[in-house]
Amino acid sequence: MNRVRQFRKQKQLSQQALADLVEVSRQTVNMIENQDYNPTLSLCIRLAKVLDTDLNALFWEEEDEQIQP
pLDDT tens series, the chain, 69 aa = 589 999 999 999 999 999 999 999 999 999 999 999 999 999 999 999 999 999 999 988 765 455 444
CA 18 to chain centre: 9
pLDDT tens digits, one per residue of 10-24:
999 999 999 999 999
The residue type at 20: D
Distance CA 5, CA 14 (A): 10
- Listed by start position, the domains of the chain span 3-52
Exposed/middle/buried for residue 50 (C-beta within 10 Å: 0-12, 13-18, 19+): middle
For residue 67, the model assigns a pLDDT of 47
pTM: 0.84
CATH topology of domain 3-52: 434 Repressor (Amino-terminal Domain) (1.10.260)
62: left (phi over 0), alpha (psi -120 to 50) or beta: beta
